[in-house]
Structure 1
């Protein structure tokens, strides 16, 4: 049973920024042909949008595991969980980041949740996950532990 689900989908400004592929494609293909330029611009932007949507990871908490993208973490190895926003989140993603940590970070999502691991076999000391709702994710992981 799912306790929590979140899709880390791109923000609208990312689609606007990706639209810069349209004039770039037109600059390359318009000297060849107007039709080729329009087709190339449309196809390039459409492919970029599809890639952004298809590669969007999900965070899912069930009674038995935490699923972050394609990675799965059994609940029995989840240790302390803490959420960060604002400057504290920036520190977690920057100066305080352990190089061994497993990351699921999206630049357009600022809050993060740090999931400590209680597994001596795992080389990663913790997972750091981008999330728009850090408090809900922390609560869901606490609920799953009970």
Structure 2
């Protein structure tokens, strides 16, 4: 015996998540610079100066490189999350994907000082999220992204999806 279930298809909001981590070549350059700095501090000395610079400087460099690439951009639960800042999608008026030239124009000499900006220079793309919140003086967010077109599509689709 089979039961007939009425399953209404409820559209679900798409989710998006990306980490703005450093590319491998920046890790290589950062660790090389830290190794050179540790060797400069060492300078052929013996005793504690022979190993302490390497034990201190190299882990600090790893921590700094990890910290630079820790930012996560996500669209979930009706909000755009950038690290620990979040924006309810009901306040989004428009989302514009930006290439390197567009990002330079938005963040250039005529940039709005009230804009919320999370930029990673090793990522050429970004999105500009235009806000529609009369209570908030922030006119827009500019957020770096590896795939700005996809992020813009997901934000607009999640905004249009009923909760």
Deviation at 1:51, TM superposition (A): 2.9
Aligned match for 1:3, one of 15, 20, 42: 15
In the other structure, the counterpart of 1:88 is: 102
In the other structure, the counterpart of 2:46 is: 33
Q: Secondary structure at the match of 2:142?
A: strand
CA contact (8 A) 1:2 1:60 kept: no
Q: Secondary structure at the match of 1:20?
A: helix
**Cα distance in structure 2, aligned partners of 1:92 and 1:24:** 36
In the other structure, the counterpart of 1:144 is: 158
In the other structure, the counterpart of 2:115 is: 101
Alignment pair present for 1:14 and 2:34: no
CA contact (8 A) 2:14 2:154 kept: no
Gaps of at least 5 residues in structure 1 are none
Deviates most, 85-94 or 123-132: 85-94
In the other structure, the counterpart of 2:58 is: 45
**Cα distance in structure 2, aligned partners of 1:127 and 1:107:** 16
Q: Which has the higher strand share?
A: 1
Gaps of at least 5 residues in structure 2 are 1-12
TM-score by length of 1: 0.88
Name which one, 1 or 2, has greater alpha-carbon Rg. 2
Q: Secondary structure at the match of 1:22?
A: helix
CA contact (8 A) 2:21 2:71 kept: yes
Deviation at 1:98, TM superposition (A): 1.1
Aligned match for 2:89, one of 60, 71, 75: 75
**Cα distance in structure 2, aligned partners of 1:105 and 1:86:** 11
The 4+ residue runs of structure 1 with deviation greater than 2 A are 29-39
